[in-house]
Structure 1
Amino acid sequence: MRIFHKRKFTPRKFYFINFRIEAPELRVLDEKGEQIAVMSKQDALNKAQELSGDLVLIAPKAVPPVAKIIDFKKFLYQEEKKEKDAKKGVKKGVVKDVNLGLFIGQADLDRMKRRSIEFLSAGHQVRINLLLRGRENAKRDMAFALVNKFIVSLGEVNISKEPKLEGKILRAVVAKKK
């Protein structure tokens, strides 16, 4: 039996170049992005041929539409590079968990603090979980105090989600302050 895998659909941008541009008048830019002039389509095509480049329509909805004189392959490379740089800056929403106990020792608490600071400096969010077992459930105020003390010990952080009891687990989410 044949297994078909779904392919990711990536919409490709389509650019009008040279004679495919339909606008009668264009605002023309050079390779560096500096404006040359507002001219007719035919004059812009002649100028592009003179500079041995392509006339690429980059802003079709502007009035008048904006076209750039540049080698089309070079233009595609620059656009691809811009998209990659934009993707680099966006961090996926990675949330790291740190599990605490109500009667955790000071050394363990320090270790968890160091680990949380590492996660925060890497740009991740940290979810602090404190599981209340059996009789610990009656000491909720002590649990809230421990989680708040832990958050304060992390330094300057944004509290994405305030400490809240979800069933038997006390949860809070913190992120690095920008």
Structure 2
Amino acid sequence: MITGGDNIATKDIRVNEEIRVKEVRLVDENGKQLGVVNVREAIQMARERGYDLVEVAPNTNPPVCRIMDYGKYKYQLEKKTSSKKTSTVKEIKIRPQISDHDLQLKVKHIKRFLEDGNKARVTLFFRGREIVHSETGMKIFDKIKALLIGFAHKIEQEPRLEGNTMSMIIAPGKD
């Protein structure tokens, strides 16, 4: 288990001979405190056990170092920072008189957004008196749902009318 130093970039971490202090507070590979030890002795202990001496809390006095596998520690830090990818909401705009071909093209875009891990907001705009026929918009959203059948997705927000627009949000994943 990694303790401390999780927010440090991997290039800022000092290992073995890169540690430039005389004494360090040493923690072994099992998390047991070994007290304040000379840095050369700590490096020797780490090597005897087949590990590296890694500085996990450089700003304390004396710095805290841990006996661990540095490659594994570095991998876990990189994995933690790369897993913070946020999904964005991509928007598709359509009109009530959209043709079947154009609708299929828009659905193709929605599928691509979902494959990339993003959400898709489908917004249908009504102009003037088109709003009187809001059931036309619902039919278009039903067509979109039908075209997405068999594709991994879930409807996060069902179609709803807000002013002169109707929108629906589709998220990646199972329904």
Shift of 1:164: 1.4
Where do 4+ consecutive residues of structure 1 move more than 6 Å? 42-45
Q: Distance in 1 between matches of 2:127 and 2:33?
A: 76
1:136 matched residue in structure 2: 130
User: Residues 157 and 174 of structure 1 are in contact (CA less than 8 Å); yes or no, is this contact kept in structure 2?
Assistant: yes
Other structure's SS at 1:20 match: strand
Provide the aligned C-alpha RMSD in A: 3.7
Task: Give the count of matched residue pairs.
Answer: 148
User: Which of 98, 101, 115 lines up with 1:104 in the alignment?
Assistant: 98
User: Residues 23 and 37 of structure 2 are in contact (CA less than 8 Å); yes or no, is this contact kept in structure 1?
Assistant: no
User: Residues 132 and 169 of structure 1 are in contact (CA less than 8 Å); yes or no, is this contact kept in structure 2?
Assistant: yes
Q: Distance in 1 between matches of 2:133 and 2:33?
A: 77
1:82 matched residue in structure 2: 76
User: Which of 148, 157, 160 lines up with 2:156 in the alignment?
Assistant: 160
Kindly provide the CA deviation profile for residues 6-27 of structure 1, in whole angstroms up to 9, marking residues without a partner as x. Answer: xxxxx64899x88332x8xx5x
TM-score normalized with structure 1 length:
0.63
User: Which of 109, 115, 118 lines up with 1:121 in the alignment?
Assistant: 115
User: Residues 23 and 38 of structure 2 are in contact (CA less than 8 Å); yes or no, is this contact kept in structure 1?
Assistant: no
1:177 matched residue in structure 2: 173
CA 1:113/1:82 → structure 2, altered by over 3 Å: closer, same or farther? same
User: Residues 143 and 170 of structure 1 are in contact (CA less than 8 Å); yes or no, is this contact kept in structure 2?
Assistant: yes
Kindly provide the CA deviation profile for residues 58-116 of structure 1, in whole angstroms up to 9, marking residues without a partner as x. Answer: 69xxxxxxx7425xxx83x7545433322333332322111111121111111111111
User: Which of 49, 66, 70 lines up with 2:44 in the alignment?
Assistant: 49
User: Residues 24 and 36 of structure 2 are in contact (CA less than 8 Å); yes or no, is this contact kept in structure 1?
Assistant: no
Other structure's SS at 2:23 match: helix
CA 1:160/1:48 → structure 2, altered by over 3 Å: closer, same or farther? same
Q: Distance in 2 between matches of 1:92 and 1:85?
A: 14
CA 1:105/1:44 → structure 2, altered by over 3 Å: closer, same or farther? same
User: Which of 24, 49, 53 lines up with 1:20 in the alignment?
Assistant: 24
Shift of 1:56: 4.8
Q: Distance in 2 between matches of 1:99 and 1:39?
A: 60
Unaligned residue ranges in structure 2 (runs of 5+): 1-6, 14-18, 58-64
TM-score normalized with structure 2 length:
0.64
